[in-house]
Structure 1
Amino acid sequence: MPEVDRTPDWQPRSEEALNNQLATYDQMRESCPVAWSEYQHWTVFRHADVMTVLNDHDTFSNVVSSHLSVPNGMDPPIHTPYRKVIEPYFSDQAMARFEPTCRSIARKLVKKLQTNEPFDAVDALSQPFALQIQCAFMGWPESLQAPLNQWVKANHRATLSGDREAMAFIAEQFDGYIRQLLEVRRNAGAEAAKDNTSLLMEETVNGRRMTDEELISLLRNWTVGELGTISACVSILLNYLASHPELHRQLARNPLELPEAIDEILRMDAPLMSNRRVTTRPVELGGRTIPAGEKITILWASANRDERVFGDPDAFCPARNHQNNLLYGAGIHVCPGAPLARMELRILMEEWLAAVTRVTAADHSKPERALFPAGGFHHLPLVVEKR
């Protein structure tokens, strides 16, 4: 194979790209749909090319790190038994059992929001909701919420800066939290609460119980995914409704429309910006020849706005766009936690619409977008009127 040209096609960390992420991706989708950069390596912008990657797991492997990642960083056949273990935790029955707890958390947080006074929706609602929901779902103590919140922020700063030493330290810190939770349950023996963490400790893969290393990796992946993306989702939804008051009123009148509306808003403005793959063989993609062993960045924030599939990417049309929406991925690695995320967001928005008659952007400060690789908002000042 001829030597690959490593001249950057774009600069994803440039100030212009970071300050105008969606516009940059929209432009790249047209001008260079598969692009090379030192930061993201090969970035895939178009929906069709992303589907090629998702549907060919033999060529585009999920094993992107030397560190164990259960089950996200695994390929079949290793991936399959781990996936089978976790799917029942997101079944209809499991969601029905958790729904009252979820609704209680959502209702209390919405009730606490101040009326007719500016507040930061990230600090007051999106982050607390994500933290409380995750701890409740896993059976973790409330005392862990504050350390987890600080851990998420430190992890984001380290990822943003590319500080590998800091990232390793932060990962070890999280592992310490989980080891302690596992130890508490082992010491309790038969008296341990039958929460999801305890139940996972009893699961078997290939005829044996998972090791602590596997459990910690699984719980880390669940937690990082839940805390980051759910908070981003909430901030995106509230920002959109503040900008579209008629939709806010429509959904308040017709809450059954919420599930598809939520998915559509999050199609236009991605909470999870990207995922990674690595090529196992040379491959042609989007007119580029990519060697084996190359890192691929799937840019959900671009693929879900592809005009070839969705027409005007900013046109709100849930019925038309639902089938091709990649909010939760596709293929064998489609997000197993999608039922939980959809239920959490639906319930929170039901409680929001039941309590809030009007939401507007606050005048005193501007929203601040989170920076790649995070989605959503870092700061979202809003004002609400309540019933």
Structure 2
Amino acid sequence: MPSETPHHGQDWDPRAPDVLADPITAYDRMRHQCPVAYSDYLHHSVFRHADVLRVVTDHQRFSSQASSHVSVPNSMDPPEHDAWRAVIDPYFSAARMAEFEPECRRICHGIVRALPRNGMIEAMFDLAHPFALRTQCAFMGWSEALHEPLLEWIYHKNAATLSGDRGQIAAVAIEFDDTIRGILQRRRALGDSAPDDVTGRLMRETIHGRPITEEEIVSILRNWTVGELGTMASSVGIIAHYLAAHPELQDHLRQNPALIRAANDEILRIHAPLIANRRTPTCPVQLGGKTIQPGERVTVIWASANRDEAVFGDPDEFRLDRDPTLNLLYGAGVHACPGAPLARLEIEIMVQALLAGTQALEQVPGHPALPAIYPASGYRQAPLRLRH
């Protein structure tokens, strides 16, 4: 939270205990008290919707090359970014989504059927993580044998994040990349008999008239899979917890399943599954009354921008009649999430299956949900009771 006498020029501490305990409330306060706030950890954090929108849509003044690690295409600017999006976007076309939908339904209904009847579940590890893991492996064409090692990786990643140890976090990242390289190595060993699936097609892609390299493939699959295993699991945990706290909305959506997709987007506007992204100015810029120099880091706080009262009124009011173009759930501008069609499809099907397979989702008195630790969002634990 902002202090009356910032230490060493800091406007707030994103890792302060009260911020980590209730990040959404902390971001709401920062949006009013210091809408562009400096910290040693995140540098210039941007909290207001208008400022965030300006940063992410002006790729000439705010570059996505804000990290020392190359990320395809996330850390690229036009025109290189556009060339990569031309390769990536067709993987999330309407035709591809229609092709994947039956398998996604099979997976989601199977997960719900396996949940204990009339009992307590831990929504993250009984529901959300299995959902994200199984749907991602199915979409990519990966063997079910990868479920267990990837689930172990999720445990390791969560433990590393909680520790705050940079060495441990880096080791977890290397562990994941090694898993991806193993998948690619096994595919190449199969030669012409390798499956013709998303992974196989990606391995045959070209860019600028040349085959894409292994490093580029690993980067793409890292972006797709880490996002799937993290943000998608967070999304389902957030939605399940919200529905348990709002039984009247549960009933409404059970009776009107066509509204589930719009409801999901609104719940995730209220409680974002992705906290932030980075940019860096290419020239001196004025933002929130402050001058930010080229090369400095700018952190756009999606979890604040999507709750800006200037745009949404009461940020906690659930409404299905909002202008969907104002919701920054999947970003904006040229870097808007290419996987948004897949994310929306998968979350919609999972929530449909959960509501159809239960009579009620309930919070468990005496067992509060525990918030995730930045940079994750949502919950690291969310106990719920199911009624069938």
TM superposition score normalised by structure 1: 0.96
Q: Distance in 2 between matches of 1:323 and 1:179?
A: 38
Counterpart of 2:51, as a letter, is D
Q: Which runs of 5+ in 2 are unaligned?
A: 1-6
* 2:245 paired residue number: 243
Match of 1:275 among 268, 274, 277: 277
Match of 2:139 among 129, 137, 140: 137
* 1:102 paired residue number: 104
Say whether the 8 Å CA contact 1:115–1:383 is kept in structure 2: no
* 2:364 paired residue number: 362
List aligned pairs for 1:158-169, cutoff 5 A: 158-169=160-171
Counterpart of 2:308, as a letter, is D
CA offset digits 1:122-169 (Å, max 9, x no partner): 111000000011111111111212221222332344345443333332
Higher mean C-alpha deviation, range 327-336 or range 111-120? 111-120
* 2:72 paired residue number: 70
* 1:28 paired residue number: 30
* Paired residue secondary structure (1:356): coil
* 1:177 paired residue number: 179
* 1:149 paired residue number: 151
Q: Distance in 1 between matches of 2:114 and 2:155?
A: 23
Q: Does 1:220 find its partner at 2:212?
A: no
* 1:256 paired residue number: 258
Say whether the 8 Å CA contact 1:121–1:381 is kept in structure 2: yes
* Paired residue secondary structure (2:150): helix
Pairwise CA distance, 1:113: 1.1
Counterpart of 2:116, as a letter, is Q
Say whether the 8 Å CA contact 1:310–1:321 is kept in structure 2: no
CA offset digits 1:319-372 (Å, max 9, x no partner): 124220000000000000000000001111111111111111123522111111
List aligned pairs for 1:191-202, cutoff 5 A: 191-202=193-204
Match of 2:298 among 296, 299, 304: 296
Q: Distance in 1 between matches of 2:291 and 2:160?
A: 32
CA offset digits 1:41-72 (Å, max 9, x no partner): 10000000001101111111111222221111
Higher mean C-alpha deviation, range 152-161 or range 19-28? 152-161
Q: Distance in 1 between matches of 2:161 and 2:366?
A: 30
Cα RMSD after superposing both structures: 1.3
* Paired residue secondary structure (1:375): coil
TM superposition score normalised by structure 2: 0.96
Q: Which runs of 5+ in 1 are unaligned?
A: none
Q: Distance in 1 between matches of 2:103 and 2:34?
A: 46
Counterpart of 1:342, as a letter, is R
Say whether the 8 Å CA contact 1:160–1:373 is kept in structure 2: no
Say whether the 8 Å CA contact 2:45–2:300 is kept in structure 1: yes
* 1:310 paired residue number: 312
Pairwise CA distance, 1:317: 1.0
Higher mean C-alpha deviation, range 216-225 or range 5-14? 5-14
Decide whether aligned partners of structure 1 residues 83 and 140 sit closer, same or farther in structure 2, where only a CA change above 3 A counts: same
Q: Distance in 1 between matches of 2:139 and 2:174?
A: 23
* Paired residue secondary structure (1:374): coil
Counterpart of 1:86, as a letter, is I
Q: Does 1:83 find its partner at 2:85?
A: yes
Q: Distance in 1 between matches of 2:276 and 2:231?
A: 11
Counterpart of 2:39, as a letter, is S
Q: Distance in 1 between matches of 2:317 and 2:369?
A: 22
Q: Distance in 1 between matches of 2:323 and 2:267?
A: 11
Q: Distance in 1 between matches of 2:320 and 2:45?
A: 27
Match of 1:331 among 321, 330, 333: 333
Q: Distance in 1 between matches of 2:101 and 2:239?
A: 20
Pairwise CA distance, 1:185: 1.4
* 2:50 paired residue number: 48
Higher mean C-alpha deviation, range 237-246 or range 354-363? 354-363
| Identity, % of aligned positions | 51
Q: Distance in 1 between matches of 2:15 and 2:220?
A: 30
